[in-house]
Every structure is written in C-alpha cells, then in structure tokens.
Amino acid sequence: MGNFKTYIDKNKERFLNELFELLRIPSISANSENDPDIKIAANSIKKHLLKLGLNNCEICETDGHPIVYGEKIIDQNLPTILVYGHYDVQPVDPLDLWDQEPFQPYIKKTEIHPEGAIFARGACDDKGQMFMHIKALEVMMQDSGLPCNVKFMIEGEEEVGSDNLEIFVKNNKNKLSNDIILVSDTGMINKTTPSITTGLRGLSYMEVELTGANRDLHSGHYGGTVANPINILSKMIASLHDSNNKITIPGFYNKVSEASNDERKEISSIPFNLDEFKKSIGINAEHGETGYSTIERQSIRPALDVNGIWGGYTKEGSKTVLPNKANAKISMRLVPGQNWREISKLFTKHIKNITPKTVSVKVTEHHGGEPYVAPTNTVGFKAASNAYEDVFNLKPIPTKDGGSIPIIALFEKELESKSILMGFGLDSDAIHSPNEHFGVSNFLLGIETISKFYHHFTKLSKG
Amino acid sequence: MGNFKTYIDKNKERFLNELFELLRIPSISANSENDPDIKIAANSIKKHLLKLGLNNCEICETDGHPIVYGEKIIDQNLPTILVYGHYDVQPVDPLDLWDQEPFQPYIKKTEIHPEGAIFARGACDDKGQMFMHIKALEVMMQDSGLPCNVKFMIEGEEEVGSDNLEIFVKNNKNKLSNDIILVSDTGMINKTTPSITTGLRGLSYMEVELTGANRDLHSGHYGGTVANPINILSKMIASLHDSNNKITIPGFYNKVSEASNDERKEISSIPFNLDEFKKSIGINAEHGETGYSTIERQSIRPALDVNGIWGGYTKEGSKTVLPNKANAKISMRLVPGQNWREISKLFTKHIKNITPKTVSVKVTEHHGGEPYVAPTNTVGFKAASNAYEDVFNLKPIPTKDGGSIPIIALFEKELESKSILMGFGLDSDAIHSPNEHFGVSNFLLGIETISKFYHHFTKLSKG
C-alpha cells in the first residue's frame, strides 16, 4: 500500500476542478424542470467511470431518474466492494438566503474549515462525498492498482425516496452481488473526530391537504361562520405532540426499540457539547421529547416535523381572504422497530380521524424508508476503523445518525450485505440548507481514507 | 324626476364597455409591481369625471396611491353628497382557479344572474359599484340635471387599509364637507331583496414571523432536537380559539357591545337560509362561536382568521428540511365597542406572551379600521329607502355587514357626517376570490337607485 497522500496533494487542484464541474449541474431530483440536468449529471458520472477503465459502464434507465453503473472485476476470488452514492441534490429554496449562486461552486475559508470549504448545493450531499470514491479509484490505480473488485452504483433519486433504485436492486441481485457496500452520505462527529455511522433513522414523508369552502371567501363576510382550513390545520398539527413533545399518533411508539442502559451510557460518552450545538445553529434553547438528551433525540428517538406549510395569501401586503385550502408536508423520522409503511398508515388514519367534518382531507404518501442498524464486530467495520486510524491517527467512534438513507435497509434485505457508512461531512456543513459546503480537507482526507479501506478490507477478508 | 330606466337601457352596452375598460387595468394596491397600473386607473377615473363636467378634478398624490377628486357645486344652498369609492382591487392569487384571465372582463350567465354577470377582478369590489355612481351622474345630467351638489373622492388604497386617505380626509375637511356620504362597497341580501348596510365590522390585520435556528436545517440530523417554527406557530394559532371557538386573547371581548334581545330578534327575522348558505359555498357544516347563529357570527360577533400561512418547502415533491422560519397573516374582524389599535396591541402582547423561548417572534401591524354603526332614522336612510322602493318595489332591510370599510368610521369622526351604504353585490359574487363577478342587472339597477337617491335626498333635506 503506497503513499496515497502524496498523489492526492499533487492532484488536489484537478480533483477540485473536476468536482466543481459536477457541482455546476443543477441536478435537483424533486423539480421536473431539472430533468435535463439530471441526465447531464448521470452522463458526467459515466464519463468518469469510463475514464478510470471501469467495465460495463452504463446509464440504466428507470421510470424516474437513471442509475449509473460500472464495475472492475479483477479476480473473482477477491472480495467485491459495491459503492453506492447519488448525483441528485436537494432543491435550493430559499434562494435569497444563499450568499452566492448555489450551482456556481467556490471556495471560502470558514471558522470550522480554515483551509477552505467548497460552497455549492451538493458539495457535501452527496456529489462531494460520492466523488471521493471516484477519485479514490484513481489514487489506487496510480499506485499499486485496485486490491479487490469494485462495483459502482450511483443513483439520481436519493433526495426523493429512491423508489426506482429499489426496483433496480430487486431486479439485479446478481449484478450487484458484493461483500460490502461502501457509502459516504453521512457525517463525522467533528473536524478531528472520525466516526462510522452504525445507525440511521427511517423516514415517512406525508402530505396533508384540507379543503373548506368551494372557493376562497372574503374574510369579512364569512369570518366567524365558516371553518378556516389554515386554523383547522394548525390545530391538527398542534395536536400531534403532547406536552412532553411525544407524538400523539395512536400506536406510533408501539414497536420502538427502547435503548438499553448500556446503549444510553455509550451514547452519553460521545463527545457532544450542548452549548456548542446551540451556538452552531443560533438557538437559545433546545427542544424535544422529555426524558432524553439532545444526542438521543437526534439518533435513537423518532421525531415528527412539518417540512412545509402553505395556504391563503402569502405575498407582500395583506389580503382579507378566508382561504379554502391549507397544505402541509409532514415527515416522521423513525427508529429501529418501526416500519415506515405501517407508520404512514397510522399517520393517515389518525389525520383522517382528527379532521373535523367542517373540512375535507386528503393525505398523500410521498416516500419513506426503514431505519438501519449495523454491528461493529464485522470485517467491514474493522477495515474502516483501521483506515480511519491510518489517516486520522484516531479510532473512529461508532455513532447513530438522525438522517435517513432509505435504501440502506433495503440493501441489507435484498443483497444480504451490510453497508459501511464512512461519512466525512459535518453538521455545520448546512446540507439541505442555503450555503451548503464541504471542507476541502474533509474531501481530501475522505479520498485517502477510502483508498486505505480497500486495502484493509481486502487484507482482512483474506485473513 | 324623469324616467332614468329608459336612458339606462338605451346606453347599457356603452356603460358596460366603459366599465370593461376600467376592469382591464390590474390596479392591485398590495403589489408594488402594479404601481404603474394604479396610476393608469386613477387617470381613467379623472377622465370620466372631467367628461361629466365636474370641476376641480385632480389626482391628489399621497405617500401611497393617489386619490381622485372632482366636484359639481350647483348651489351652495342645496345639500351636498360626497361619493366615496375605490379604484384599487385585491390580488388575484390563486390565479389557476380563475376560469379566465382576471383582467380580461367578460359576461357569462350564472344560476343567480340569469341575465349575465360581469366576470373580472374588481367587477363588484369596487370598480363596478363605484362606476355606478359615475354613470348615475350621467343619467341625471341627461335628464333634468343634478338636483344637488356632489363631490367625488375615489381612492386607491382601500384594499390595503386606506392609510393615506385618512391623512387626506384630516387635511381637507372643508373641501370634503358634505351632508351625506354615499358608498357602494357592500352587498344586498339576495338578488331581489334590497338592503342598506347599517353596520360594518372593524379590522385588525397582523403578521407574525417566528424564527428558530440561524438557517434551515436537515430534518434528519436535527429533527426532534430543535424547535420547528412551523410546529410552534401551528400550536400558537391553535391556541387562539378555545373549544367554544371563542378567541382566547386576554381582554379581546372586554369592550364588545353585546347585542340586545331586540337586536337579536331583528337579526333572526332577516331572510337567511342556512342550507342555501352552506350550499352556496359548498360546505357540509358551519363553524363558529357557540351560542350564536351564522348570521350573528358574521355581523355582530368578532372573528379571528389566518389569511395566509407559509414556511419551509412548499413546492412539488418533498424536501427534508426543518425550516428556520414560519409566517402567518392573521386578521381579526371587530364589532362596535372594540378599538382596532387596542386590539392590535392586545394581539401583539398575547402573541409575544405565548411564544416559547425556543424561537423568536416578530409581530407586525398591517392595517386596521374601526367598526361602524348607522342609525335608520336619518334623512339619508329614508332617502335611500325611498330610492330602493322606487326601483325594486320593496322596502330595503337594514343589515349589518361582516366586512370592513375602515374609512367609514373615520369619515364620521372627521367629517361629522354619516355614510349611506347602498350595496348591490351578492355574497355569491366571489369578491376577493377567483372568478369575482357582478350581476349586469345589479349594475344597472344600482345606477337607477343611486340616481333616485339624489332626488329623494334633496327633496327630504329641503323638507
């Protein structure tokens, strides 16, 4: 195993330029107007894989956005790593809160990234992190070559639920067969504390629409006589949490695996400073379920949030309207034990139950995914741990992530292999937010760590 | 007093064409982008007044949108009628619910208006009704001439609170001196039952903005640990009504004049069919303050409605964002006894009191106006009653309107004269809503009734 660092340092500028090119493509999967950009991004990934000499490179069409596939099988007796990532990105609203154009990447120093960070939508989630895997292949090939087989599967619908990847995986079990799945779409504890994500929350993303009268009404002539869907929706949303901030949907907690004392003790040992957390996002007081710490609330406890709400007149000035519709996008983060389709059903049933007869309701399921847990006693985990130790001189801490990568639980079920979640992003990187960024050193250390992983994994698998 | 009807019938097409021209101007006072259209509308009104031979016609500039003034003083010893109306209109959102372009007027028959109705934003509120007064002048002039003096004051900020008209009135008391103010900006009970509005609710229109974190957050990483401003705002809005749909703001009802048994008895005698009401707006069940009838709730009781709410991701698809802001436009309709500035203060204080420390709040006052009551034993009321009887062969019923014309209470205070609210719109005309319209016969009968009023008022004032 050679000195990857020297090669990375020497080619750093080019690596960044290549990533910038990818970041300039506004491949927002949620907006159909960006469909052409999705295709451009998929093609760009394919070109990178071809250039690295991967075989069977193809753009696999789906009913939605395409999946890019490529592989390099050097020896059937060697282990196979399946790399998963996504080239699609989150929408950019609210656009006016970005310091610069979200698809015009640039580097700026920050307090946390004094060496500079890459600012752009997708810089961290997931173009930047996915691209580390492409560059790690190049690094290994320029050195002693790949130590094992590799397959790449990069999708374009992660931010909208990976529905078509699910079908693709089910239909291509042989093609995708592997010994370990490697994913960089999570974070590390802080700039100097590496971590491996061993748990992910599940997700159920729903939409509720209330309709009152057959048209918007004048709030003077009708105010006080007709149910206002916004007032009603507010009341319904308010009722979804009790005074302890527990979710009130009947049956919601029935199957939640309660954390053991040991597990809670382990969590409390993770370096976490509540004051720093509050400072980093500018809040005066934390908020959440009574009886749990902030780090527990964001990892081992479920949550329910309104992701968007709209109704009536929302522009400049005033309009005395009593609107006839109110809408909300509401999502729930789930923990082991909970099944997202079951939770979606419980949600739908409950919302219908609490809708008063003065309005009608429509509940729509957007998408979802199961929670995920990974053991720490596997070859994959040990190889990752060694790789981090090589690069960071520190053993990584196993952590549970509050986010969801819906497809990870499915991989386990369909491909019968575990995923190693080697994330290099930071909480402060503002993924899904304006001014998303990714530390330049995180990007480069990521490439190095991934390259090391291939060697450790091959070695430990043989042993 | 001649046969106005013949002249009106003969010139009907031209009257409608002239109104259509006015309706084509998108003079939305709430949108600054329509400022040029506001000026075009004001100029158009001025031209009409000039053409009728009114004197001292001018466009009076204000800090906001201009006021159009014109007068015809034929004899200082005769009474003077001040006509008030507005040329500005409500915004048109949601645009996709209009059957045709809101500023491309057209005539279509409806169940309620079998002779046809004029469809356009402003058709009824208030361009159509205001224009009846301009055409009534023409009708009288083509007949035996004006029987008394007239002053016109047509403003462009009624839909955004008439702030600058207030200043104009205070600064021009002599110029505006009059014996009666005539306004058509209200409705009649139904197509065949004329009514005179003897009460208007007041208004306090507020906006609330909650801010949580310093940026939008990823709902996976932060969900469950940080206050979500939308969830908090929903809770706050929900708490503004109790289980009897009474408003919970402390002190809100303190000064409300409770209706006497006689007044409630009088209200219950107004022809009102709850089933027809429900059918007309397509609702299954009415909603409102316990202990009051629908017609009471919309006239003599105050109300609180959210007119608009927004926050987070509101477009197509899904975005797993925990937003850092949530906003609502909330307005209250007020009844005699309540003072709008006092209510705005109580609202602001209460909202601040119930905001948890996990978020910060900003409360803004948009505008407001006092409630209004008019006696029925005045010369003005009698003259109006006679005019309606001449045209409809029915005595008009005095009614209280749930809407607000904030300036009417101010006129009484500053100009020391009462307003006669001769409205010809119907509840079903969808003012402030998509597909606003105004019955062609309502428009024509309005012109005739107004013309008759001048003669009755002059005669009764002399007597």
DSSP characters over A331-390: EEEE-TT--HHHHHHHHHHHHHHH--TTSEEEEEEEEEE--EE--SSSHHHHHHHHHHHH
Partner residue opposite A224 with nearest CB, options B205, B297, B357: B297
What is residue A2's predicted lDDT score, i.e. its pLDDT?
65
Partner residue opposite B216 with nearest CB, options A160, A303, A432: A432
Give the integer Cα–Cα distance in Å for B136 and B147.
12
Contacts of B304 in chain A (CB under 8 A): 223
Give the H/E segment covering residue B310.
Answer: strand B303-312
User: DSSP character for A193?
Assistant: B
Question: pTM score, two decimals?
Answer: 0.84
Residues A4-34: b if buried by 16+ CB within 10 A, e if exposed: beebbeebeeebbebbbebbbbbbbbbbeeb
What is residue B161's predicted lDDT score, i.e. its pLDDT?
82
User: In this structure, which long-range contacts are made by residues B102-108, counting pairs with CB atoms below 8 Å and at least 24 apart in sequence?
Assistant: B102/B26, B102/B434, B102/B436, B103/B23, B103/B24, B103/B25, B103/B26, B104/B24, B105/B19, B105/B20, B105/B23, B105/B24, B107/B16, B107/B440, B108/B437
Helix axes B4-23, B127-142, angle to 10 degrees: 140
Nearest CA in chain B to A216: B433
Residue B463: pLDDT over 70: no
Inter-chain residue contact A329 with B307, CB threshold 8 Å: no
Give the integer Cα–Cα distance in Å for B326 and A237.
14
What is residue A109's predicted lDDT score, i.e. its pLDDT?
97
Distance (Å) from the C-alpha of residue A335 to the closest C-alpha of chain B? 11
What is residue B269's predicted lDDT score, i.e. its pLDDT?
87
Give the integer Cα–Cα distance in Å for B221 and A195.
15
Contacts of A285 in chain B (CB under 8 A): 227, 356-358
3-state SS string for A62-120: CCCCCEEEEEECCCCCCCEEEEEEECCECCCCCHHHCCCCCCCCEEECCCCCCCCEEEC
B406 pLDDT band, cuts 50/70/90, is confident
What is residue A406's predicted lDDT score, i.e. its pLDDT?
78
Angle at B278 between CA B272 and CA B282, to 5 degrees: 150
User: Span B214-228, mean pLDDT?
Assistant: 94
Q: Residue B126 corresponds to which amino acid?
A: D
pLDDT digits (tens, 9 = 90+) for B245-288: 999 999 999 999 999 999 899 899 888 899 999 998 999 999 99
Mutation target to probe the A interface, by most A beta carbons within 10 A, among B65, B98, B246, B309 is B309
B175 pLDDT band, cuts 50/70/90, is very high
pLDDT along chain A (463 residues), means of 10: 88 98 97 97 98 98 97 97 98 94 98 97 98 98 96 96 93 97 94 93 97 94 96 98 98 95 90 91 96 95 98 93 97 96 98 98 94 93 97 94 88 95 93 95 98 97 82
Contacts of A207 in chain B (CB under 8 A): 318
Give the integer Cα–Cα distance in Å for A461 and A413.
22
Inter-chain residue contact A317 with B30, CB threshold 8 Å: yes
Give residues 302 to 341 of B whose Cβ lies within 8 Å of A.
Answer: 302-323, 326-329, 331, 333
Strand partners, A365: A206
Inter-chain residue contact B215 with A358, CB threshold 8 Å: no
Pairing of strands B180-183, B419-421: parallel
Distance (Å) from the C-alpha of residue B305 to the closest C-alpha of chain A? 7
Cis peptide upstream of residue A126 (ω within 30 degrees of 0): yes
What is residue B163's predicted lDDT score, i.e. its pLDDT?
87
Pairing of strands B217-218, B321-322: antiparallel
Inter-chain residue contact A404 with B216, CB threshold 8 Å: no
Contacts of A298 in chain B (CB under 8 A): 221-225
Q: Which value does ipTM take for this structure?
A: 0.84
Contacts of B315 in chain A (CB under 8 A): 30-31, 91, 93
Inter-chain residue contact B230 with A303, CB threshold 8 Å: no
User: In this structure, which long-range contacts are made by residues B70-75, counting pairs with CB atoms below 8 Å and at least 24 apart in sequence?
Assistant: B70/B46, B70/B151, B70/B152, B71/B149, B71/B150, B71/B151, B71/B152, B72/B137, B72/B146, B72/B149, B72/B150, B73/B149, B74/B145, B74/B146, B74/B148, B74/B149, B75/B148, B75/B149
A24 neighbors A123 (Cβ within 8 angstroms): no
Give the integer Cα–Cα distance in Å for A420 and A81.
10
Residues A217-252: b if buried by 16+ CB within 10 A, e if exposed: bbbbbbbbbbbbbbbbbbbbbbebbeeebbbebeeb
Taking the alpha carbons at both ends of chain B, their separation in whole angstroms is 17
Give the integer Cα–Cα distance in Å for A200 and A154.
20
What is residue A207's predicted lDDT score, i.e. its pLDDT?
98
B189 neighbors B183 (Cβ within 8 angstroms): no
* Residue pointed to by tokens 């105010």: A223
Q: Residue B60 corresponds to which amino acid?
A: C
What is residue A383's predicted lDDT score, i.e. its pLDDT?
98
Token pair recorded at residue B84? 């008030």
Give residues 99 to 158 of A whose Cβ lies within 8 Å of B.
Answer: none
Token pair recorded at residue A309? 């709400």
Give the integer Cα–Cα distance in Å for A136 and A123.
17
Inter-chain residue contact B283 with A310, CB threshold 8 Å: no
Q: Would you call A276 an interface residue with chain B, using a CB distance cutoff of 8 Å? A: no
Domains of chain B (ranges plus CATH)? 4-200+371-462 (3.40.630.10), 202-256+302-369 (3.30.70.360)
Inter-chain residue contact B160 with A226, CB threshold 8 Å: no
Distance (Å) from the C-alpha of residue A82 to the closest C-alpha of chain B? 25
A320 neighbors A220 (Cβ within 8 angstroms): yes
Inter-chain residue contact B331 with A318, CB threshold 8 Å: yes
